Structure 1
Amino acid sequence: MLVGYRHDLIADRVRLINRLREVLVGICPVLERAFEYRKRPGLIVLTGYQTPAAIRRIGAKRLADWLARRNVRTAGVFADRAVEAAISQHTSLPGEDLAAKLVKGPAHRVLEPDERIKENEQAITSLFRTDERAEIIESLPGMGPILGAEFLSIVGDMTSHTDGGHLAAHAGLAPVPRDPGRKTGNLHRPKHDNRRLRTSSPCRPTSR
């Protein structure tokens, strides 16, 4: 239940960010490109200032102070980035004031799921570490409590998987036999693999 709730929270957050960026690109494309809005500093900026004119009026120094009061680290860096983007656009677009309100609302709402996601992940971590398999799972490369809980929520007690190869095939990471008649060694990619298991599996391929 906790893992499923986390998926819902993240999906809501992604939807809000996509909507925010869609509106923002219509009034200030440079500002839309200036920040990674999955992270907190860019969202904090947009809760107070959404248009190039508003950012230019406050200026880098006062914006940095404003961000610092909201616990943004390296506030000066983000303030400079926002002001630089605002200076590059002096054109006021039709509907800018209305669009600014539509940006401000989602910016506030994106920050709300952040806190709920943190609380949810703390609950997942606490519950996961009560499981007798947690220490073994966390010893695997790349596996932490969140990914480990995701893994356990899919595979359950592991009795349905006879060995590691069976588990890898379920995740779509290993071929399965398709041997007609007496022929053997005819392997093919699984057609009914579990995508969620593939992303959370300890046997998933690693990037280099």
Structure 2
Amino acid sequence: MKTIELHIYLFPELSEEAQERALDDQRFTNVDSFWWDNIYEDARQIGLKIKGFELENGYYCNGEFTENACFCAGKILDSHGESTETYQIALSFRTERDRIIADWPKDEHGELASTGDLDSELDRVEDDFLTAIRWAYHSLLIQEYNFLTGDKAITETFEAQDCHFTADGRIATRLEKLANVPAQNQEQP
């Protein structure tokens, strides 16, 4: 039998160099799976279904309205703060849409003239709104990803999970578990 003594440390106990290594080695620990769920849920609540996104190669966010553009804008204006990008986009859409309708030529009876052209113009404004909202959610996904892969969030994860490290900053969770295996499970000489 051989006995090995190994000292393990909590993240704040590591040297600055070891902390940097630990952070770099675990950079993607918070984005292993489904980190985007909260943003998808927020989009769902305003009437937007996000169908996929890419943050590096291709750089896109695909989505479609589950209701209609006016419903989506109303939900955003009711639930997102005035300082958010999505609120400003929804407000701009609603203002432009209302202006188009108010300024549209009327016939001799005061009814909207050439409603086919009006529908085409409103479709264009709605398409522009959808494009802008998808880009806004793409920005939210980038911000969330950058936060989750940043030093602060990773450090918080280390603390929340009570992670231990070797002196050089390598994660020691498996070593700690191995050391705590009950004696009856260990091989006898």
TM-score by length of 2: 0.25
Please identify which structure carries the higher strand content: 2
Please identify the structure whose Cα radius of gyration is greater.
Answer: 2
What is the TM-score with the length of structure 1 in the denominator? 0.23
Which structure has more relative contact order (CA 8 Å, sep 6+)? It is 2
